[in-house]
Structure 1
Amino acid sequence: MTKPPESGKQRIMFDLSVTAAIARLVLDRPKALNAIPVAGWQDLASAADEAVRADARILIVSGVQDGAFCAGADISDFDAFQADPEARTAFRKAMRHGLDTLRDLPIPTIALVEGACFGAGVALAMACDWRVAGPGARFAITPAKLGIAYPQEDVHRLVSLVGVGQAARLLFGAQSIDAEEAARIGLVEVAASGDVEDAMRDLASAVIANDPQSLRVLKRGVGLASLDIRQDDRQDRAFESLLGSDVLSDRLAAHRARGK
């Protein structure tokens, strides 16, 4: 069954649906190559939170079919920033809120990238747990071409994924790379040679076959490890609690029954 977004909720460009525990968040502004305006970042945050409230167990972020993933922030907003320092701050905070809300979701998230993924679109993809790229995907981080920079949090994520040298190459050169090269340097985890939707469905099916609470604990653990936190009391308690859960008992019984 597909669940629609909240009744009466109108978003600028993010369309959310939930089917069989899989949430799909689609950027739907094709005439602008899915560039995100300032107000769109709050929409991203609210849609991401709504997916969790709808009991989704995984969230897929993608562009409209046969279009770009995301061309970045909408540069038509940028003229107003030159004379308005408060607008600049509001933009930075809005983008941070949207991206960090997506990053901090308790459920696994996948960016399904087809077509152009530029600028803040790369930051959007990096806010997901992993990235699947189709054969026609192109990645570029181009703020230097406009004489601006990249938010430090997103520079940090980029360096964490690809290393200092490759991050410098992408940021300083501002040149585009294809899906194969993005996979080689670690910007994407899966470069699909065939139908990217098939690759995504295989991954999503594998994820939702697992226990939701286990996934939440594991996702938090990965987040802690990304901050170089090697031990955490809350994680220790969660680990021990799962060892005594009914889910473990039931799954062990099913495993043993299959082995007979």
Structure 2
Amino acid sequence: MFDLAQDGRIARISLNRASARNAIRIADWADLADLAERAVAEGARTVIMRSAVTGIFSAGADLVELEALPGDAVGQRRMRAAMCGALDRLARLPVATIAAIDGGCFGAGVALVMACDLRIGGHMAQFAIPPARLGIGYPQEDIARLVALVGPGQAARLMLTGERIGADEAHRIGLIESVAHSAHGAVNNLATLCAESSPTSVAMLKRAIAAAAAGERSGSVYDEAFERAFDGADFAEGILAMRERRAPEFGA
């Protein structure tokens, strides 16, 4: 389902299940989180999520598995727990994560890209969240991420109607950060910039952004992290690099 390629500080995880338009099975979720964590353990400072299949990012959850869930309470809980657990692990990675979306991105595929820090859509990207068209719901954690990105009104529009929108509209409402002719090409510059940033700062800022999105405006944990950073090696290197008019070279 997933291929991992790592080039120095940048890792690329590609969805590669062409026969099912990159539909994600229950067991695939843990594999995805495992690969992302492995990439970080092996030195990646940026993780890109992309598709290896032309024209589709992900069709969402695997319909064959969904059709088997009626009457299976254990399977229902397993499906929700697998999806939510993997996306929480992805969101908690201490490095930058960027989704490159060229083609269709639907249902659980949207949940996947929302768990990333940044989302870049190609001009052919399309998005839809169709649970109301299937008579089901959406995990609360993913609804929270959607509302944080687009607000409750646009979240209601997308979820209650299942409307399909293009890249420009997704950008307008805040579901993605930018639109490019090719998302795969556009993410490379962002990934390089993130990989060159201080890993200490990236991890600290990601925690603070997540807290702010959850409604936290202040907290001693974040205040202490901000203050301690001035004593760190990364700050010393950043200041020195600025004075020497060169790019900083942060350690592990």
Normalized against structure 1, the TM-score is what? 0.91
Distance 1:105 1:140 in 2: 26
Q: Does 1:33 align with 2:21?
A: yes
Alignment counterpart, residue 250 of structure 1, candidates 234, 237, 243: 237
Shift in Å, 1:254: 2.4
Sequence identity percentage: 45
- 1:99-149 superposed Cα distances (whole Å, 9 cap, x missing partner): 111111111111111111000110011010110000110000111111111
Structure 1 unpaired stretches of 5+: 1-12
Alignment counterpart, residue 132 of structure 2, candidates 144, 167, 172: 144
Query: 1:134 maps to what in 2?
Result: 122
Query: Any conservation in 1 of the 2:200–2:234 contact (CA below 8 Å)?
Result: no
Paired residues for 1:150-161 under 5 Å: 150-161=138-149
**AA partner of residue 124 (structure 2):** G
Query: Any conservation in 1 of the 2:99–2:119 contact (CA below 8 Å)?
Result: yes
Structure 2 unpaired stretches of 5+: 247-252
Structure with higher RCO (Cα < 8 A, 6+ apart): 2
Query: 1:21 maps to what in 2?
Result: 9
Alignment counterpart, residue 182 of structure 2, candidates 189, 195, 200: 195
Q: Does 1:208 align with 2:195?
A: yes
SS at match of 1:159: helix
Question: How many residues matched?
Answer: 246
Superposition RMSD on alpha carbons, in Å?
A: 1.4
- 1:155-187 superposed Cα distances (whole Å, 9 cap, x missing partner): 111111111111111111111100000000000
Distance 2:66 2:243 in 1: 61
Normalized against structure 2, the TM-score is what? 0.93
Distance 1:241 1:94 in 2: 36
SS at match of 2:61: coil
Distance 1:234 1:43 in 2: 32
Paired residues for 1:103-182 under 5 Å: 103-182=91-170
Q: Does 1:239 align with 2:226?
A: yes
Alignment counterpart, residue 57 of structure 1, candidates 36, 39, 45: 45
Shift in Å, 1:65: 4.5
